[in-house]
Amino acid sequence: MSSDENGAIITIKLAKIEGPRWDEQKEAVKATGAIFQKSAKTWLIETETNTFPADVLNRLFEIAAEFGTQIKLLILRD
């Protein structure tokens, strides 16, 4: 996404759960195409609004319901 386009950023923060469930959660988030940002300790998906990935967002909400993962959607406009 370039600086002159409208877009969205989806931030994902994994729930603090123990054991293999944490790994399941991490792999599910990773499968959505999210990229881990070490400095912010969060996962990010950047997209343009005209190609907004509704199916990815739906999957993220399923993950949130199952694991307690935090999802934030930021819409960016010029």
CA distance 49 to 39: 25
CA distance 28 to 52: 19
Q: Say which CATH architecture domain 7-73 belongs to.
A: 2-Layer Sandwich (3.30)
What values do phi and psi take at 6, rounded to 5?
-75, 145
Question: Measured between alpha carbons, how far apart are the two ends of the chain, in Å?
Answer: 13
Place of tokens 């307690």: 68
What one-letter code names the amino acid at 28?
Answer: A
pLDDT of residue 1: 46
* Segments making up each domain of the chain, as ranges: 7-73
- Tell whether the model's pLDDT for residue 55 goes beyond 50: yes
pLDDT in tens, 14-48: 999 999 999 999 999 999 999 999 998 999 999 88
- Is the model more confident about 77 or about 54? 54
What percentage of the chain has pLDDT greater than the value 90? Answer: 71
